[in-house]
Amino acid sequence: MQLRLRFQSVSRPLTVALATTTLLVCWASGCSSYDDRIGLLAPEPPSFTNADASASAAEPEAGLTAYCPATTCLAPFTTCPGSRFACDVNVMTDPENCGSCGFRCPSDRPGASFTCVAGTCVMECIHPTRTRDCNGILDDDCEVILGTNDNCTACGDTCPDPAKPCIYDYSTGVGKCGCGVGSLFCGSGGCIDPNTSDVHCGGCGNACDPSGGGGERRAHTYYGCSGGTCGHLKCESLYADCDQDVTNGCEASLLSPTSCGGCGIVCDANQACLRNANGVPECLCPPGQTRCGSGCTDLRSDAANCGSCGMVCSQASGWTTGVAVCSYGSCRFQCAQGRGDCNGDLRDGCETNLDSDPRNCGACGNSCEPGQPCMAGRCAVVPCDEAGETR
């Protein structure tokens, strides 16, 4: 059987470290030892598209290559002792068979995880904005905590000046030695603005008296720091002087629908002024979302509030090949990439491996030719020999 396919050459080679005679590189050239199978260059599988079905199979047109079903594995796929299907292991990405059959990457640890990248086990820090592997020793995982004067934003990034210690934000991974122009570091709490800080007004440790020494106060006001000096009347948190009339103090509540989070911010009739996830007043909820509990959500896609608040799309026990999702307000089961529910029975989840099953290759019911392996969801093909048969 020939497949008439248009061939597009791929010039970028892959470096493949393989240790099995079922791979194409060894099948084609014959590996005599284990060392022969290390560091061989094998081209990526070709990408191709269907050619004109009316063309003669016996006389390929210029620019076309005749393809026949493959009967052996193509790099980087192979068959390992624990394989269920032929050629179902990709030694470039499989952490259980990384680089060769049976070479298993280390198990995940409290501070690090391991993946198989290009046939090599690679360690990744679980908290990339907080920790680093600076000594290159796998046994102690990601041993360095960033944000110190010895390792501020990266391994060896030091802050030698005591007056400019490391200021680091663990949530964003952004930091530097010392505060910016106009800011001060006054111990814990990071950098402050001495022009407005009521605790460090004009300098570290200079706290303002909120009573102003018995001065006159207006509604929702206190005495604080402005311009680096104490004794200035300021609005309390969540209040503002929107009418610019000092006699009535800070009259506007920033939790009001007519001044939500700031003067002049008016909420729509179907919205309420509430604190968002960051504690900032906001008109909630925006169009297309509904308030459930303390936040807003889209009832059409939220698996915890599917169709209505509190309607949870539950994940059945033992389902590891798919997830419960909310689609247009209804719960349904979605298979993971490369998996399929080919028997229509959700009790066993997405039981079919669409990447490797030759009877369901890429899709349920899509069968490969007898003896033809399914690799990455495609029935494998190779250029036909001169007689039009599989090589």
pLDDT digits (tens, 9 = 90+) for 327-337: 999 998 889 99
Phi-psi region of 128 (alpha: psi -120 to 50; beta: other; left: phi over 0): alpha
Helices vs strands, H then E, count in the chain: 1, 32
Closest CA to 46 of 12, 18, 72: 12
Distances from the Cα of 389 to the Cαs of 48, 69, 351, in angstroms?
Answer: 19, 9, 34
- How far, in Å, CA of 322 to CA of 343, rounded? 15
| Exposed/middle/buried for residue 211 (C-beta within 10 Å: 0-12, 13-18, 19+) | exposed
Cα distance between residue 333 and residue 323, in whole Å: 6
d(CA 43, CA 46): 8
**Which tens digit of pLDDT belongs to each residue from 247-298?**
899 999 999 999 999 999 999 888 889 888 788 999 988 888 998 887 889 9
Residue 360: which residues within 8 A CB-CB, separation 6 or more? Answer: 340, 342, 352, 353, 354, 366, 367
Q: In tens digits, what is the pLDDT along the chain, a chain of 391 residues? A: 443 333 233 333 323 333 333 333 333 333 333 233 222 223 333 333 333 333 344 455 556 889 999 999 999 999 999 999 999 999 999 999 999 999 999 988 888 999 999 999 999 998 888 899 999 888 888 999 999 999 999 999 999 998 889 998 887 888 889 998 889 988 776 789 999 999 999 999 999 999 988 888 899 999 999 999 999 999 999 999 999 998 899 999 999 999 999 999 999 888 889 888 788 999 988 888 998 887 889 999 999 999 999 999 987 666 778 888 999 999 988 899 999 999 988 788 899 999 999 999 999 999 999 999 999 999 999 999 876 555 5
pTM of the model: 0.57
